[in-house]
Amino acid sequence: MEVDLTRIKPYGDTLNDGLMQLSFTLPIDLGDEAAEAARQLVGKMGFDEPKVVFSQSLGKGFSFYIVYGRCRETIDITTIRVEKVNVNVLSKKEIEDFIKQSLGRSINVIGACIESDAHTVGIDAIMNMKGYNGHKGLESYKGINALNLGAQVTCEELAARAMEIKADAVLISQVVTQKDIHIANLTRLIEILEAEGVRDKLITVVGGPRIDHALAQELGYDAGFGPGTYAEHVASYLVHEIHNRQRR
């Protein structure tokens, strides 16, 4: 049988069997009724033939379940489009040439982990000389002045420094996402940049393990980068964007 791309279903061991694995905790004591509740709950979520294959007490008031069930829904993959930063990724050398030839000036980039976030490994990977997985960071690019402010920089400080060095772009990293703190932090920064009247003068870029381009745009940033990003991805985007803006 052929896969129908307009009606994709999960695959256990046979096409369209719909099998999925779930695990979760319920805030109730373990017991026959609790396990049945787990089963029925998964049924209510729209799974066919839910089967509780394992249940375990986590001590008073909590119990854990592993359930298999058949997904009833299908998904049409032919209509799915994913927002991505729309750019032709160049090599380091090509970027440096592009800066020299097409921009004709060096560019200033400032970066930081803002507010309470202290996870610098990601921003360091993008900005510092050393880079990441053998991909050199922005600091090593001819024609890019990269200033990495590091961890736990307040939005105010970042905005001030960006203006001070006449940054072309600000690069933000957000790693901690618990209780959507990254949303709050990122929103705050955009508000401050707007209040300072520099929002449109800067290219705003955000990255992190739970960031994607769609989210970035939703929050008012120009671009978003997720896991697996290297300096050349960001740099390619930046030089093109600056080029486009210069022509406008």
Please report how close the Cβ of residue 146 comes to its own copies at its closest, in angstroms: 28
Identify the active-site residue in 84, 130, 142, 166.
Answer: 130
Q: Is 173 left (phi over 0), alpha (psi -120 to 50) or beta?
A: beta
Number of residues that bind other proteins (CB under 8 A): 37
58 is an interface residue for other proteins by CB under 8 A = yes
62 is an interface residue for its own copies by CB under 8 A = yes
Of 85, 81, 113, whose CA–CA distance to 213 is shortest?
85
Instruction: Tell me the per-residue interface mask from 77 to 106 with ligand B12, x by CB under 6 A, - otherwise.
Output: ------------------------------
Q: Residue 201 carries which DSSP code?
A: G
Cα separation, 11 vs 31, whole angstroms: 31
Are 65 and 78 in contact by the 8 Å Cβ rule? The answer is no
Q: CA of 229: how far to CAs of 115, 116, 137, in Å?
A: 22, 23, 11
CA torsion sign, 163 to 157 to 85 to 216? negative
**201 part of the active site:** no
123 is an interface residue for other proteins by CB under 8 A = no
Q: What residues act catalytically? A: 130
Binding site for other proteins (CB under 8 A): 11-15, 19, 21, 23-25, 52-54, 56, 58-62, 64, 66, 68, 115-118, 120-121, 124, 150-152, 176, 178-179, 181, 209
Binding site for its own copies (CB under 8 A): 3, 5, 8-12, 15, 19-28, 32-37, 40-41, 44-47, 51, 61-62, 71-75, 77, 80-82, 84, 210
